[in-house]
Each structure stands twice: as structure tokens, then as C-alpha cells.
Amino acid sequence: MKIVHREHSAYKDPVMDLYIASFPRSSSDKIALSKYLDEFLKEENALFAIDNDQLFGALLYSPIHEDKDLPSLITENFNTQKCVYIAEMMVSENSRGKGIGSQLLESFFINIDKNQYSDAFIRVWDQNEVAIGLYKKMGFIPYTEIDQVKTYPDGNGTFLMKKIYLHKKL
Ligand SMILES: CC(C)(COP(=O)(O)OP(=O)(O)OC[C@H]1O[C@@H](n2cnc3c(N)ncnc32)[C@H](O)[C@@H]1OP(=O)(O)O)[C@@H](O)C(=O)NCCC(=O)NCCS
């Protein structure tokens, strides 16, 4: 398994498949998803876990000011121009628990431009214990929370999802 950075075009379709498999509820609008993923790939803000040219995991990031839900606690206490946001982390289901997520994060911390960014944030659903455990192990500390309004998959009504923003100094 190797982690590669800045190979933007080659993995578009596999990243799309991995995203849909990892976040089934978000996959209904494939055109919107394709545009969303293109933003990361064209900026080369992506790390890929590859074995024999096959994609097993991906980490996508962006400047944090592109996060539309950014809590005021972050905007008031950080220079958001210097903050990077890990927007997506995903590993293919059969390969989870083997250290690929840890490797993606380790590689991210080594490769991210520390002149451009001083702080990293990641956002996670408060029930995602595996992800929260991994992020804490990698040095992230819970910083603040938001409630997101989500629509049920059948379109019938809405519910609240609590998301935690975790912070790590780079
Ligand atoms: C979160 C995710 C990216 C982690 O990737 P991963 O390759 O499984 O991560 P790692 O193997 O490096 O570490 C996972 C940790 O959780 C532990 N773990 C416990 N149960 C686990 C399970 N069922 N599957 C995977 N890991 C598990 C592992 O033991 C490991 O901890 P350790 O290093 O102390 O042993 C991956 O589970 C995933 O893609 N989940 C679905 C998408 C998602 O929720 N993404 C995060 C959104 S914020």
C-alpha cells in the first residue's frame, strides 16, 4: 500500500465509487457529487491509498473558509486563511481497521504546506466512534459542535445530526 498525493485525474471514478459506498445516504445526486469531488481533484487537494493501481482509501481537503457551516467559535478564534479542513476521509469497507486511515492522516500531516496552513480541522458525526477514535489517536482534540438539519432518505421529514469539529495544530 502506498499513499500518493497530487495525482488528480487518474482516480476520479474510483473516488466517486468509494464515496458512494462509504456515504450511501449522500449519493442520490451523482452530478452534484461529481462536481463536489472535482473541486478537490482539480486543486490536487487529495491523498490516495493505492495498491496495484487500485484505490483503497482517500483523504480530501480544502481551505476551511470553503466550509459553509463553519461555526463562529472557529471564525472568531482562528485566522481561517491559515486553517485547512479535512472534508472527507474514506477507506473501502473490506480494508478498514488495517491502518489505511492512519496512514492517510500521517501522510497528510507530513505533506501539508506548513507555510500556508498552521491549523487543521476535521468534522465528524458524533456517533462515528471509529472515526472519532482514529482522529483522537492522531492528535485531534474536539473543539466545537454544530447541529445539521438532514432530510430522511425517503424525503419524509428532517432530523438533527450533531457534528463535532476536532482541531490539531500543524
Ligand atoms: C473512518 C475510516 C476512514 C477509518 O479508516 P481505517 O483505515 O479503518 O482506519 P485505521 O485502520 O487506521 O484505524 C481505525 C481505528 O479504529 C479501530 N476500529 C475498531 N473497530 C473498527 C472497525 N470495525 N473497522 C475499522 N476500524 C476499527 C481500529 O482498530 C483502529 O484503531 P487502532 O489504530 O487503535 O487499532 C473508515 O472506517 C471509513 O472509511 N469509514 C466510513 C466513512 C467514514 O465514516 N469516514 C469518516 C467521516 S468523518
**Sign of the C-alpha dihedral, residues 46, 150, 93, 138?**
positive
Q: What is the pLDDT of residue 126?
A: 95
Residue 70 phi/psi, 5° resolution? Answer: -55, 120
101 alpha carbon to ligand 1 midpoint, in Å?
Answer: 6
What is the tally of structural domains in the chain? Answer: 1
Which residues form the pocket of ligand 1, taking CB atoms under 6 Å from any ligand atom? 22, 89-91, 96-102, 124, 128, 130-131, 133-134, 137
Determine the atom of ligand 1 nearest the C-alpha atom of 130: 16
Q: 18: domain range?
A: 2-169
128 alpha carbon to ligand 1 midpoint, in Å?
Answer: 9
| CB atoms closer than 10 angstroms to residue 113 | 8
Q: Nearest CA to 138 among 122, 126, 127, 116?
A: 122
**CA–CA gap between residue 29 and residue 79 (Å, rounded):** 33
Determine the atom of ligand 1 nearest the C-alpha atom of 122: 48
Q: With contact defined as beta carbons under 8 Å apart, do 46 and 103 qualify?
A: no
Q: What is the pLDDT of residue 28?
A: 65
**CA–CA gap between residue 111 and residue 90 (Å, rounded):** 18
Which protein residue has the closest C-alpha to ligand 1 atom 28? 97
Torsion angle, alpha carbons of 8, 17, 24, 120, to 10 = -20
Q: What is the pLDDT of residue 11?
A: 85
Ranges of the chain whose pLDDT falls below 70: 6-9, 25-28
**CA–CA gap between residue 140 and residue 124 (Å, rounded):** 12
CATH number at 92 reads 3.40.630.30
**CA–CA gap between residue 150 and residue 125 (Å, rounded):** 12
